[in-house]
Amino acid sequence: MEVKILVYDSQIGYYEFLKHVFTRKFGILRLFKKEKTIEDDYRMMVFFLHTEMELLDFFRLYRKDIPVILASSVQGNNFQMKYTGNGNIYHLDLTSHKDKLQQEIQKLFSRLLPEMQ
């Protein structure tokens, strides 16, 4: 069974990483493009937040009925993210090394998409 996962990555590098490492095991990854209509048949969203301005896109795409991985390296006084354990949003820290990042994504995908095991 293939699962559609919407990926938002304005810089495309993390999308390419996900596509290369996880597509065979976890399903179809679709890159969000602003000029295209969004299909609602995706089962998860992975959102790579590079700037505070992209939060507007996040709020536009957010659905409370699916798991959302919000990946960010944005830190500082103006913007900090912490996972509270509530709801369907899971934070992924992009300041981690590539191997650790891959392990964390693997854990989250396995937990949030158990039917793909």
| Residue 30 within a domain | no
| Residue 54 within a domain | yes
| Residue 24 within a domain | no
pLDDT of residue 84: 47
Token pair for 10: 């304005």
pLDDT of residue 29: 87
Mean pLDDT (whole number) for 2-25: 89
| Residue 47 within a domain | yes
Which domain does 57 fall in, by range?
1-9+38-63
Token pair for 51: 């700037």
Task: Work out how many domains the chain is built from and give that number.
Answer: 1
Instruction: Dump pLDDT digits (tens) for 25-76.
Output: 777 888 988 767 677 788 999 999 998 899 999 999 999 899 999 999 866 4
| Residue 94 within a domain | no
Which of 3 and 105 is assigned the larger pLDDT?
105
| Residue 51 within a domain | yes
| Residue 18 within a domain | no
Q: How far is CA 11 from CA 5, 40, 48, 88, in A?
A: 17, 23, 9, 24
| Residue 56 within a domain | yes
